[in-house]
Amino acid sequence: MRKTALIVAGGKGARMNSSIPKQFLLLNNIPILIHTINAFSDLDEILLVLPKEQFNYWNQLCLKYNLNIPHTIIAGGESRFDSVKNGLDEICNESIVLIHDGVRPFISKKIIAKLINTVKKKVGVVPVIKLKDSIRKISNDSTKPISRKDLYKIQTPQCFLSTEIKTAYQQVSSKEFTDDASVFESISGTILPIMGEERNLKITTKEDLEIANSLI
């Protein structure tokens, strides 16, 4: 079965206080998004969802940094839900699809392979990592600790059979959908967690970028 990476990169850099969208910021002198695409170079197909107004800039970066990995650029939508749906609509053949945040450049080939080998009919697979910090719920004037024993942070890529996740994305978006797994669960899909990796961080702030540069 074909393996497809669907990379969603719709950031605008607001939390970075940058005029450059975060996916194009430099990590070890190379745009973050190029690192991310390189991670999926062994797959059969890479679909990249970007805001349409960023197409020309991205093409210029590809030339400047000699990115020769074949990929298809797709226009994003008003929300992440719409952007993922636009990407899924471009998948014609039955595939194993891995939906990934464009600003997670450290995803390993080991985790990618484990996701692909674990996914099956009616079962999506997501990488998770255990919470290390203490958790406290704050409501009005009261606070109380929450046990972190069964709490995990969810990462991407999230992996599904293409026909099933495409069906899930035919519905109307909801505020209850926090990620692709929650969309899949809404049509009675089952989510199977696997242990992810701490270094697969999502770069959304200047502090994240500093940490990422220290990992290179």
CATH number of the domain where residue 137 is located: 3.90.550.10
Query: What pLDDT is recorded for position 149?
Result: 87
Q: How many domains in the chain?
A: 1
Range of the domain at 39: 2-215
Residue 51 near residue 76, CB atoms below 8 Å: yes
Query: Mean pLDDT across the chain, nearest whole number?
Result: 94
pLDDT at 15: 56
Closest by CA to 6, choosing from 59, 61, 85, is 85
Please report which confidence band the pLDDT of residue 86 belongs to, taking 50, 70 and 90 as the band edges.
Answer: very high
Query: Which helix (H) or strand (E) covers residue 34, if one does?
Result: helix 32-39
Lookup: tokens for 122: 């009616």
Q: What mean pLDDT comes out for the span 94-98?
A: 97
pLDDT digits over 11-54, tens only? 555 555 668 899 999 999 999 999 999 999 999 999 999 999 99
What is the reported pLDDT for 49?
98
pLDDT at 92: 86
Q: What DSSP line would sit under 75-117, residue for residue?
A: E--SSHHHHHHHHHTT--S-EEEEEEETT-TT--HHHHHHHHH
Q: Residue 137: its pLDDT value, please? A: 87
Tokens of 187: 């049509």
Residue 169 has pLDDT above 70, yes or no: yes
Residue with tokens 């197909």: 45
Q: Taking a C-beta distance cutoff of 8 angstroms, is the pair 182, 107 a contact?
A: no
